[in-house]
Homo-oligomer: A and B are copies of this chain.
């Protein structure tokens, strides 16, 4: 193949609708995504899996150690299972671990299942839990919530590069345009620039529509060794590059606030492993938990130079027919963000795009796709590059 190695492939993808309150147990939620992925993988059966990795952010439901509970419910005993977590980057962390377990020869076929049932908790409890994923000694008790953290990035970016609130709002305009075409997205309405700019302030300069929504949901990615993948499907989508990095938990210790260091480093590794450059990417899913996060991702992934993210969205270059289509499924801003399910949902979109199965959201001729998934306020960064 042209790009990097072809040793581990995605052979099946599944995702529930992302909703405000799913009304079912986490087991049932995961089952729904798993079943869809099995069907997608040419009707594999649960017992065909030789391992599973269950991913979520901790402490949104009463079941501790959910891997065991979910694996039993999905019919995956006695195959090994465990739980992997990197907050919002949990399910791409699961994909990275699965790559290692498969390429090392320990496994041939692994299901990575990400989920979150945020409706178990009140909105206040969700904020409190999220805060405890930040620096609990010096920052979150003093109000440095997730929106506040990203607001600091937005302020710094505006200060240094002249990025505007309108440019940020244009990212949400794009998101709304595509999420209405994605029936699994929570947000089924287009929003105007004025509506976004006039929405209530959450953490200045970020307003209501600059923020993604909590959600319930699950995703499932089935990965296979080369030999297994070729037996299962005619359309394996190969992992070509993987990058992963961390940055400080605390905002105070970050070297700069105009980009995510962990994303820059993860992207560098992934491009190197895949042997490609940013300009080779045909379609990308990036972690737009806030509009500023998508704008910084453009720059951190090298789709434009630092400081030119605002220009990129103004020129509509990240629309479906632009130079580098980004978040063509609506992104987190449009789909909602059921924390542990999000990375898997991003991978699913890229896999559908590369197979040519993305319907109205198809990027024509897409050959190389990229996923950018961030945990915490720039704490964990995963970048994965795929191609047919």
Q: Which residues on A are within 8 Å of B, measured CB to CB?
A: 51, 57-59, 62-65, 67-69, 71-72, 76-87, 89-90, 93, 96-97, 99-106, 129, 132-133, 135-136, 242, 244-250, 253, 261-262, 265-266, 375-376, 379-380
Contacts and interface: CB of A to CB of B under 8 A. Distances in A.
A129 B87 CA distance: 21
Contacts of A245: 78-80
A207 to B, nearest CB: 27
A246 B64 contact: no
A101 B62 CA distance: 31
Nearest to A132: B64
B82 A67 contact: no
B65 A85 contact: yes
A136 B261 CA distance: 40
Given A59-B59, A82-B90, 12 more contacts: A57-B65, A58-B65, A65-B87, A68-B86, A78-B247, A79-B245, A80-B380, A83-B84, A97-B97, A100-B100, A100-B106, A101-B104
Given A64-B59, A132-B64, A265 B69 contact: no
A104 to B, nearest CB: 4
A135 B69 contact: yes
A81 B266 CA distance: 12
Contact of A93 (B76, B82, B266): B82
Contacts of A71: 246
A67 B85 contact: yes
B82 A380 contact: yes
30 contacts: A51-B244, A57-B64, A58-B59, A58-B64, A63-B132, A64-B87, A64-B129, A65-B85, A65-B376, A67-B85, A68-B86, A68-B87, A68-B133, A68-B246, A68-B249, A76-B246, A77-B247, A78-B265, A80-B244, A80-B245, A80-B246, A80-B266, A82-B90, A83-B85, A96-B101, A100-B102, A100-B103, A100-B106, A101-B104, A103-B103
